[in-house]
A and B are shown apart, each in its own frame.
Chain A
Amino acid sequence: MSVDTQTGTTAGTPSTGSVLEIRDLHVTVGEGDDAKEILRGVDLTVRAGETHAIMGPNGSGKSTLAYSIAGHPKYTITGGTVTLDGEDVLEMSVDERARAGLFLAMQYPVEVPGVSVSNFLRTAATAIKGEAPKLRTWVKDVKSEMEQLEMNPTFAERNVNEGFSGGEKKRHEILQMRLLKPRIAILDETDSGLDVDALRVVSEGVNRTREEGQVGVLLITHYTRILRYIKPDFVHVFVNGKVVEEGGAELAEKLENEGYASYLKAAAEGNQA
């Protein structure tokens, strides 16, 4: 686990390496009496150049963590802090977070009828860069990234996520990550529902981003499968709304062999105590 000594740099400072710091994060869903605490004190630091895998059983709150960082209005932050290079992320609107350098590849990407992929990508790139990308280089960049992700060129004319297969949706998420060049990329179960070929293609896309450096990756997954393609520097076991164990890549192997049973048992006992 990296030691948290770096002081904040402003979001505008280029390439000295961003850091996302999550401290004692508590999050609920639902209103009033129906409010239910999902995150129960999450601590995590992700630096540029690092890849962190978050592994946990279904329902442990992994997507809640991802959405809370991205600012989904469904989730209420009841305690703790999230900062990016010292800036308070929780104070930012959803779009400000993205422009500050956060990116979330969603587990369930949303259909937007009538909005073409090419229009969407260009609007997003314009928003992130603060100016419209030069048309000629932009078209070339999009084409080349799509080729590398083995996406059909006609894809750009389709409506965002409408009628996409599971694999197409995930490729589209990674395409956006490649084009928007975030400082911190959170990938929520990008591996789920992919066949072996798609998993390889998508993983290669993530690895290209990592090799270009200066991006911190938070890889949320249920299975260890994707970790054969994307080697994490750190593995965090996530159970019942918090990180219960941390280690290096070897921890993933242990999970592969033993599953989450012992953690779930411990969490259940902890709840009773």
Chain B
Amino acid sequence: MSASPENTSTTDALAEDVAVAPATLAGELFAAGVGAQAGPPTTPAPGTGAAGQASPGAHSHGGPAPTGSPAERFASTDPDAFGVPTGREETWRFTPMKRIRPLLDGASSDAHLTWTTDLPEGVELTSVEAGDPLLKGLPDPVDRLAALARQRSGGAAVVRVAAEAQLDRPVTLGLAGTGSDEVVWGQLVVEVGAFAKATVVLDHSGLARYAGGVTVLVGDSAQVTLVSVQDWAPGAVHGGQYDAVVGRDATFRQVVVTLGGDLVRLVSNVQYAGPGGSAELFGVYFADETQHQEHRLWVDHAVPNCTSNVLYKGALQGESARTVWIGDVRIRPAATGTETYELNRNLVLTDGARADSVPNLEIETGEIVGAGHASATGRFDDEQLFYLCSRGIDAETARRLVVRGFFADVVQHIGVNELQDRLMASIDTRLGALPGLDEQPVEVA
């Protein structure tokens, strides 16, 4: 079975994991004239020969054949270097441009989110002005929205965790929208010293138009979990670029939970500053009628012996609910010993919802431990429902258990019990409001 480049179906039964199909030369994939801002190709070639077959828990040894070197992704701190997107660009083609427009126009504003912070011992919250050397060292913005956020925020809030600190509880930044129509521009830097261990929770709520950049600098051998909860009020628009720079032998875990808002579009990038780093990117999203939720990932393996693992799961309900997941992983020639796997699953609960899922793997060295991806979009897994019902559980309860479990599977990676409980309760409420879950057809693959 070859990897399906786009999984836009709303009716397929959840498919088996698919083996990876390495993409061919990016040069062959870019449409003519797309130019420098095309970003990584998002259309993998159909199964081309030696595939690096891998499934979770199973490695392919020896690795797949290299696939050549794709064009670099354009990045700049200058918003105008990107031009104003029209919606035809590869990176914007899924996004509803009208709704995101305020975040691309770039009108300056003094609007802010209301901050509520919980800072355990060993954590410092400060700010730096524009032009501070710290900001110069951050990975550059990859699109106009991110470049505007970097520029218009005029500096950055900085969370510093001292080297070797072991926090007794998570750092929590509650970021609440105030209902202003003006765009809030924000930039946050989380700097975690070597050998420190920290969890940082960004808890977004309220009504806002928010363009926020977040950069996490993970010191050597540090262990950092960044949780970003998008629990926005209806009508909120949130876009932003998240970067992680993972130090030598460090572990970075990101958990993105997108539930609320009208439009959320997050770009999460990972790069490794030294060998031995590990990155886990988890995400859950739940789109209702009218919501657009877009998560774009880019993991850049450029040094040896690093691992990445991506698991994103989403559910959609209601006419015109829309989700987009783009998972780009690049393994550069120097990144020998890389091990990577990415998986995206979408559960379509009602007719009329649409999930796009585009995994893409660029492999430029054969000397990797393993690389694979899988993507599946569909209805309930009927074998799961049958199993539960065969134990006396009625079909409606069985469906709720399965959807709940579908989310819990990811939420349980957060590792903060109170937050996990709150998010699951919020998901339960959403499921409770789901009409006719009991009338969902039971289809058998």
Q: Which residues of A contact B (CB under 8 A)?
A: 70-74, 93-95, 97-99, 104, 106, 109-115, 119-120, 123-124, 127-128, 159-160, 176, 180
Contacts and interface: CB of A to CB of B under 8 A. Distances in A.
A104 B405 CA distance: 23
Interface string B380-415: 001110111111111101100110111111101000
B401 A98 contact: no
Contacts of A115: 401-402, 404-405, 408
Contact of B390 (A70, A112, A119, A123): A70
18 contacts: A72-B386, A73-B386, A94-B389, A94-B395, A95-B390, A106-B387, A110-B386, A111-B384, A114-B405, A114-B406, A114-B412, A115-B402, A115-B408, A120-B391, A123-B393, A124-B388, A127-B392, A160-B387
A227 B192 CA distance: 62
Contacts of A98: 389-393
Contacts of A99: 392
B395 A114 contact: no
A127 B397 contact: yes
B425 to A, nearest CB: 15
Contact of B444 (A74, A109, A114, A128): A74
Nearest to B443: A73
Nearest to B442: A73
Contacts of A71: 389-390
B396 to A, nearest CB: 10
Contacts of A95: 389-390, 392-395, 398
A93 B389 contact: yes
A123 B383 contact: no
B392 A124 contact: yes
Contacts of B383: 110
Contacts of B382: 73
A18 to B, nearest CB: 16
Contacts of A124: 388, 391-393
A180 B384 CA distance: 19
A96 to B, nearest CB: 8
Interface in B41-58: none
Nearest to A123: B393
Given A114-B404, A115-B401, A115-B408, A93 B395 contact: yes
Contacts of B408: 113-115
A112 B397 contact: no
Contacts of B398: 95
Nearest to B407: A114
Given A98-B390, A115-B408, A159-B405, 11 more contacts: A73-B382, A73-B442, A95-B392, A97-B390, A110-B387, A112-B387, A112-B401, A112-B405, A114-B407, A119-B401, A123-B401
A112 B397 CA distance: 14
In this complex, the interface size class of chain B, counting residues with CB under 8 Å from chain A, is 20 to 34
A127 B391 contact: yes
Given A73-B382, A127-B397, A112 B388 contact: yes
B393 A127 contact: yes
Nearest to B388: A112
Nearest to A95: B389
B394 to A, nearest CB: 5
A173 to B, nearest CB: 10
Contacts of A113: 405-406, 408-409
A229 to B, nearest CB: 25
Contacts of A120: 388, 391, 401
Contact of A112 (B384, B392, B395, B410): B384
A69 B397 CA distance: 22
A124 B388 CA distance: 8
A128 B384 contact: no
B335 to A, nearest CB: 29
Contacts of A110: 383-384, 386-387
A138 B383 CA distance: 27
Contacts of B394: 95, 127
Contacts of A97: 390
A161 to B, nearest CB: 8
A114 B409 contact: yes
A37 to B, nearest CB: 18
A112 B392 CA distance: 16
A96 B384 CA distance: 17
Nearest to A98: B392
Interface in B233-290: none
A250 B49 CA distance: 56
Contacts of B402: 112, 115
Contacts of A111: 384
Contacts of B412: 114
Given A114-B412, A127-B397, A109 B390 contact: no
A159 B394 CA distance: 20
Nearest to B386: A72
A45 B197 CA distance: 63
Nearest to B391: A124
Contacts of A127: 391-394, 397
Contacts of B409: 113-114, 159
Interface in B300-316: none
A74 B386 CA distance: 10
A180 B392 contact: yes
B380 to A, nearest CB: 11
Contacts of A104: 390
A128 B392 CA distance: 6
Nearest to B387: A110
Contacts of A73: 382, 386, 442, 444
Interface string B429-445: 00000000000001010
Contacts of A74: 444
A73 B412 CA distance: 32
What 6 pairs between A and B have smallest CB-CB spacing? A114-B405, A114-B408, A114-B409, A98-B392, A124-B391, A127-B392
Nearest to B382: A73
Contacts of B393: 95, 98, 123-124, 127
Interface in B3-58: none
Contacts of A114: 404-410, 412
Contacts of B410: 114
A145 B392 CA distance: 20
B395 to A, nearest CB: 7
A110 B410 CA distance: 19
